[in-house]
Amino acid sequence: MGTLTAGILMMRWELLSAFLMFCTSQLNIVCRQSSRNTMAFVCSGIGLTVTCFFVMSLMGMSYNAVAIAQFWANTKDVFFDVMSKTPTDMSYYY
């Protein structure tokens, strides 16, 4: 019994995340069926956020302000590097 309790206590955030993902998925379906598109969009956003938290916690990734700032700085550098290598007369198809 102690092992089960310890396992549940250690997995509490992952279990809560999985439960929240399920709830937001169900709310998204109900909102879409009743034509409440704004609420469905909000539920999708919450579900996506909880999913990211769930995956990061299962992988053991830590996230803090420094890591987020470093990620966005790296993303900005890569974006500008890729955009500088694209031809200026590139045709776009719409």
Query: Residues, the chain, total?
Result: 94
Please, are residues 10 and 2 in contact by the beta-carbon 8 Å criterion? no
CA nearest 50: which of 93, 16, 94, 92?
16
d(CA 37, CA 50): 20
Name the band, by pLDDT with cuts 50, 70 and 90, for residue 17.
confident
Which residue did the predictor score with more confidence, 5 or 45? Answer: 45
pLDDT tens digits, 19-76: 888 888 888 888 888 888 888 888 888 888 888 877 777 777 777 788 878 888 999 9
* pTM flag (> 0.75): no
Over residues 8-21, the mean pLDDT reads: 73
Nearest-Å Rg of the Cα atoms of the chain is 20
Which residue did the predictor score with more confidence, 35 or 15? Answer: 35
> What's the pLDDT at 94?
59
Within 13 Å and on the Cβ side, how many CA atoms surround 30? 7
What letter does residue 86 receive in the DSSP assignment? S
The whole-angstrom distance between residue 12's C-alpha and the CA centroid of its chain comes to 19
> What's the pLDDT at 78?
94
